[in-house]
Amino acid sequence: MSAFSMPASARLWMPESASTAAQQVDWVFDVVLVICTIFFVGITGALVAFVVRYRRREGTPATRQLHHHTGLEVAWSVIPGILLAVIFIVGLTGFMQLTTPPEDAYEVGVIGKKWVWAFQYPNGYIDDTLHVPVDQPVMLNMTSDDVIHSMYIPAFRVKRDVIPGRYTKLWFEATKPGEFNLFCAEYCGTKHSNMISSVVVHPPGEFDRWLEKASNFLETMSPAEAGKLLYKRRGCAQCHSVDGSQMAGPSFLAAWGQTAVLDDGSTVEVDANYIRESILEPQSKARAGYRKVMPTYQGQLKDEEISALIEFIKSLK
């Protein structure tokens, strides 16, 4: 327990705290802040006082020689030295804890891509919101499809880069049910600021029920409805509108059956095969007039999911 901790709601400059790491992180932050403030005020105060007191005056000769003061010099070296060593040790142990996930942590896969998060649960289900059980360590195994992103959950006091071509891990244990913000904290392109999601912490016993229900959406919904859900959850909505407005990609409104002009001048009809190919190999037949920014969904959308997306696009007459 920290000498500085107050009820979460009473804190002015800290976000809500909802993980086992939050208290310690806040405590270290507060202690370092207090130490820095004491030194800042002390040093700046002495500086100002000396400037005023020993300023050059008419008729006062300059001091010829100053001798050093061994006691003072030892004190101002040793005391900060000890403080720094203590901060280092506390920081190092905290860092080790934060970077070493417990063996029994529940693992969720994370893929960052411009500009959406994909969270993959052990049964293969993918969602754009992170759902976790309360009071259980959770480990995120993270990678990126394109550029460097950064997983940041302020209420849990955790943040870690998400890097293409390698896996980084981050873990936490949520301490209260609720919904908390989740951000990308690394500037990753035009819509970086839209790369917002949330963590839903489920009360005991509810997480498994949620996962079971959420994973069955392909069976419980009509294909077009399931496609609409995928369109929102899997980030298509970031670049494709359904009301005809222009975004990074062509609108899906009335796209079905249209003749699309490709960047090599040829044309193609927007049908099931073309949509499927656009999703799996976006660069192979690129539309004229658009930048090739669509990420591939190869290996990330099952056949049934692609079919559902096709039905959804078809339904937008």
Among 155, 278, 308, 311, binds ligand HEC (CB under 6 A): 278
Nearer to Cu ion, 117 or 256 (CB): 117
Question: Would you count residue 292 as binding ligand HEC (CB under 6 A)?
Answer: yes
Listed ranges 13-21, 70-78, 180-188, 272-280: which one lies at the site for Cu ion (CB under 5 A) = 180-188
Q: Which residue has the tokens 């997983």?
A: 151
Based on the shown chain and the rule CB under 5 A, indicate whether residue 153 belongs to the binding site for Cu ion: no
Structure token pair of residue 282 = 């976006």
Please tell me whether residue 236 binds ligand HEC under the rule CB under 6 A: yes
Closest CA to 282 of 258, 249, 257: 249
Contact residue for Cu ion among 188, 214, 294, 309 (CB under 5 A):
188
What gap in Å lies between CA 306 and CA 314, rounded to an integer?
12
CB 119, min distance to ligand HEC, A = 15
Closest CA to 178 of 12, 15, 5: 15
3-state secondary structure of 44: helix
What's the min distance (Å) between Cβ of 35 and Cu ion? 34
Q: Which does 294 bind (CB under 5 to 8 A by kind): ligand HEC, Cu ion, none?
A: ligand HEC
The smaller minimum CB distance to Cu ion, of residues 158 and 195, is found at 195
Residue of 119, 167, 109, 113 lying closest to 143 (CA atoms)? 167
Number of H helices, E strands in the chain: 7, 12
Work out whether 112 is an interface residue with ligand HEC (CB under 6 A): no
Residue from 131, 149, 228, 287 touching Cu ion (CB under 5 A): that is: 149
Q: How many CA atoms lie within 13 A of 29 on its CB side?
A: 10
List 287, 308, 311, 314, residue binding ligand HEC (CB under 6 A): 287
Residue 70 tokens read as 């061994």
Name the residue type at position 280.
L
Q: How many residues bind ligand HEC (CB under 6 A)?
A: 26
Query: Which of 29, 15, 144, 169 is closest to 91 using CA atoms?
Result: 29
Out of 24, 215, 238, 241, the residue judged to bind ligand HEC by CB under 6 A: 238
Buried b (16+ CB within 10 A) or exposed e, 137-156: bbbbbbbbbebebbbbbbbb
Residues of the shown chain interacting with ligand HEC in the complex, contacts defined by CB under 6 A: 114, 234-236, 238-240, 248-250, 255, 260, 270, 275, 278-279, 282, 286-287, 290-294, 297, 309
Residues of the shown chain interacting with Cu ion in the complex, contacts defined by CB under 5 A: 149, 184, 188, 195
